Amino acid sequence: MQSYSPSEIYQFAVKIEENGKIAYEYFEKKFSDPKLKKIFNFLASEEVKHKETFEKILTKIEDYSSGYYDDQYFLYIRAFADNVIFTKEKFEKEIDKITDALSALDFAMKKELDTINYYYALKAFVKEDKQNLIDDIIKQERNHFLTLSKIKENYE
């Protein structure tokens, strides 16, 4: 039986937010449309805030950990994260392929949905009285998705 650490789950979340920041900063520089630049700049700053939240949780992991450590669920979370979190090199290759605003918006929307799903799964590892923190981040991620969706309507 493999040993798992609850901190690993939050480290995945930190990496998701780091990748999001990289993508949004890349898209901000890549496109000249002021509306796109503004939204991608905003989303990059949001990713920084979320990363800081998860780093804070990592420093106080015992305050947040639910004590739920089912091996099968850890395997699920790890597999999920492996499919959502790319290595830096693979991630950069993925975003380099994006050449138009519509593709960038589609990519960003998919990543927001992946992130939402990951954070819902992460809640099983968080004490019930601390889940509001994760719920707040999920709500923000949903709002990001909706904002991107509205902007995308202008490009179709």
Q: What is the pLDDT of residues 137-146, one digit of tens each?
A: 999 999 999 9
What does CATH list as the number for 6-153?
1.20.1260.10
Mean pLDDT over the full length of the chain: 86
Q: Which two tokens stand for residue 156?
A: 């179709």
Axis-axis angle for helices 34-59, 101-122 (nearest 10): 20
Q: CA separation (Å) from 2 to 70, 75, 135, 150, 151?
A: 11, 10, 29, 44, 44
Is this structure's pTM higher than 0.95? Answer: no
Locate the domains of the chain by residue range: 6-153
The stretch 60-79 carries a mean pLDDT of: 75
